[in-house]
Amino acid sequence: MTMKLAVSCLIFASFLSAVLVAALGKPAAETLKEADRIAIVAVLTSQQNDWNKGDIRGFMTGYWNSPELTFAGTRGFTRGWQPVMARYEKNYADKAAMGTLDFQELELRSLGPDAALVLGKWHLQRQAGDVGGIFTLVLQRFPEGWRIVHDHTTQSPPETK
């Protein structure tokens, strides 16, 4: 190995060591304040209640009413509050299709003073057959309260016996 390459490797190794020390020395992620946790769970509880009443428009109040809202699902991305609303109305045309929604195993994490991540499971009980899956939500605090700015929801494959 040439002297120039050896010095370069030593400098690079020193740089990596400094980065690792700096990363390990950082404080743990900011914990979500209890008031924020309560407010976020209230948004999801309200959504669940509105869904179970057959009120998609009420359910959608939990989302940021903006063209920048994003929804990721099995069929790709939907962008904007109105297209997400239309997607729900198309896929869940009536109360029978909507069924009864239940959110479970919620995990909330702070992403900063005005942003949070929620992981969870969803389940729809319907006469046509139950469905469910997992979701990841990114919420942001606005003057009117916490709203979902990104939703990534997937449906679990049907169980085979």
Asked whether 65 and 85 are in contact (CB, 8 A), the reply is no
Is the pLDDT at 76 greater than 50, yes or no? yes
- Residue 159 pLDDT: 61
DSSP classification of residue 32 = P
Q: Write the CB contacts of 19 (distance below 8 Å, at least 6 apart in sequence).
A: none
pTM score of the predicted model = 0.79
Task: State residue 2's pLDDT score.
Answer: 52
- 148 has a pLDDT exceeding 80: yes
| Residues 51 and 59 sit within 8 Å (Cβ to Cβ) | yes
Count other C-beta atoms under 10 Å from residue 84's C-beta: 21
pLDDT of res. 156: 87
CB atoms within 10 A of CB 94: 7
Q: Name 29's Cβ contacts closer than 8 Å, sequence gap at least 6.
A: 109, 110
Looking at residue 109, its pLDDT comes to 97
Sequence length of the chain is 161
Query: Band of the pLDDT at 17, cuts 50, 70, 90?
Result: very low
